[in-house]
Amino acid sequence: MLQTFSALSISGASCSQIDVRLGLVETKKDNLPALKSYSLAFQFKHTEIQKNGRTKLGICCCSEQGPSKRRHFKKQEEPTQNVDLPPILPKRKKKPFPMPLKTILQNARNDRKLAHMGIEKTLEAPKNGILVPDLVPVAYELLNSWTILIKGVAQLLHVIPVHACSECSAVHVSKTGHDIQDCHGQTSSNRRGFHSWIKGSINDILIPIESYHLYDPFGPRIRHDTRFNYDRIPALVELCIQAGVELPEYPSRRRTDPIRMIGRKIIDRGGFLDEPKRQQTLNSSLMEFDTHRAFERFPAPNSEEEVPQIAEKTLKAYDKVKWGVSKLMNKMYTVKACGYCSEIHVGPWGHNAKLCGEFKHQWRDGKHGWQDATVDEVFPPNYVWHVRNPDGPPLKSTFKRFYGKAPAVVELCTQAGAKVPLKYKSMMRLDIVLPDGEEAFSVV
């Protein structure tokens, strides 16, 4: 719609009479979303208006209403100098659930509601026992990276010394043990909190987490009196086997028909099958996937020039293992962990072996308190103090807040010559300067 206002004459002009007319042009757009905000845009332009045979100069104003365009500016994240590690959970308390408790209770209510109505629960692979074809290569890559990681750590232990406390679980990667008074062993009060250092092993760098091997994860549960009928293997290996890796020594049932459930009850699992006889081989492939006696099986590097290359290769394998475990677990391959101890079970349900001896185990008759596991519980990082100068003096309790930490594998590889990954720099506090000289006496 065009609105023309009365002419505005300008007196005292040398030129011919100039009329300034203001025209408002309004355009409407239909079918605009109701939830979007709109802005009013104006545009002015000069036009020539014919009136009574005379040409006059006019000004036209056009307006258009449309959705406003908001500019979103990305906030630049400042690089942090230090990152605090996850807090150490108290032993006399249950671990927190990885999923909010309200979500767990709501899912349980929905399952009970469907079971009360007799509606079958919809299960997707691999929850229904069917393999996911896209994750089979991930499982093979994870197992391959795990063997490379074991070999690399075992070779680096011949060059880089590792110390472990005989009273607690502390580990230190350096030529000598540190002097930080944070030991919580049984006789730590006699040593004023100082650690009792001994020579460390590969199990101090890669904490062994084992699980029962099951031919059919959806079969009968492991009871306390039948626990010796099942072998204990590394949890990573059992996760890869259930994800599609074929090992002759440890077969696994591959289902073609999915299982069916109503609520928490299985109505069709395809029957029970007896476990086939295992193929006995002279050179068991499981030795490659276990850290037992790895220090003896893998010799030291041939020369000092190979040490940085082995360190870089080991560090890449460590990242691939962590990536593979998180991907398999995020794709719904169920892993259960005890909420009180470090027991891990790979499968839809935990076992019934009464082996838990942690906080208030008498109330549970020794049974584990199963809940969903996290990646750090299946593949623990095992944080250790970062040593900037291995040839320098040992770390002291006075400068404890200035020191950083890193996973034991990362610390071992960086001292062997590997480049420090960017994601661990803030954790290792490399940008913080240690006080020296007169400043060191003022640190409390």
User: Helix %, strand %, coil % for the chain, to 5?
Assistant: 25, 20, 55
Low-confidence ranges of the chain (pLDDT < 50): 1-42, 44, 49, 55, 63, 68, 73, 282
Q: Please write the tens of the pLDDT for every residue from 18-31.
A: 444 444 444 444 44
The CA distance from 427 to 424, in Å, is 5
- The predicted structure's pLDDT at residue 386: 93
The domain spans of the chain are 2-28+39-67, 101-157+201-263+285-380
Confidence at residue 320, expressed as pLDDT on a 0 to 100 scale: 96
Question: Which residue do the tokens 């470090």 mark?
Answer: 342
Q: What is the pLDDT of residue 444?
A: 60
Looking only at the bridges linking them, the beta strands covering 22-27 and 54-67 are parallel
pLDDT at 52: 53
Predicted local confidence at residue 273, as pLDDT: 78
Query: What is residue 237's predicted lDDT score, i.e. its pLDDT?
Result: 94
Residue type, 291: T
Q: Are 382 and 373 in contact (CB under 8 A)?
A: no
DSSP string, 78-143: PPPS--PPPPPPPTTSPPPPSS-HHHHHHHHHHHHHHHHTTPPBP--TTTTS---GGGHHHHHHHH
Helix axes 306-330, 408-415, angle to 10 degrees: 160
pLDDT (0 to 100) of residue 269: 81
**Burial class of residue 353 (count of CB atoms within 10 Å of its CB; 0-12, 13-18, 19+):** buried
Question: What pLDDT is attached to residue 220?
Answer: 87
pLDDT at 16: 42
pTM: 0.79
Q: Check residue 92 and give its pLDDT.
A: 86
154's enclosing H/E stretch is helix 136-156
Residues 6+ apart with CB under 8 A from 207: 380, 382
pLDDT at 18: 42
Element (H or E) spanning 232, and its range?
Answer: strand 232-234
Do residues 294 and 150 make contact, with C-beta atoms less than 8 angstroms apart?
A: yes
Q: What per-residue confidence (pLDDT) applies to 5?
A: 44
Tokens found for residue 389: 């100068």
